[in-house]
Structure 1
Amino acid sequence: MLNNAVLFLIIAIIAAFFGFGGIAGVAATIAKVLFVIFLILFLVSLVTGRR
């Protein structure tokens, strides 16, 4: 899942470089959402792994 977030972040950076505002915005939003989901799952696994 982190790989997908990084992939969409790279797509957003490339699209922003070429001036595709809509595509860059959508890819950046997807990257942010996937990163937050990854972070939540990581924290849950840390908490449950210590028990």
Structure 2
Amino acid sequence: RIVPELGDPNLREVVHEPFRVIYQQRKDTVEILAVVRAEQEPDFPEIQGRNI
């Protein structure tokens, strides 16, 4: 699903309690941008800065 706080369709997440895995899919690869506990706020500016 799209990361709700960001609304960017290129930044996706999988929730597997107690974690959120935030990733970006590219042509042939998936880049993991962050793995955070579900109750924590990810560092969104850092994640958005890596969006290419």
Structure 2-normalised TM-score?
0.26
Higher Cα radius of gyration: 1
Give the structure with the higher percent helix.
1
Give the structure with the higher percent strand.
2
Structure 1-normalised TM-score?
0.27
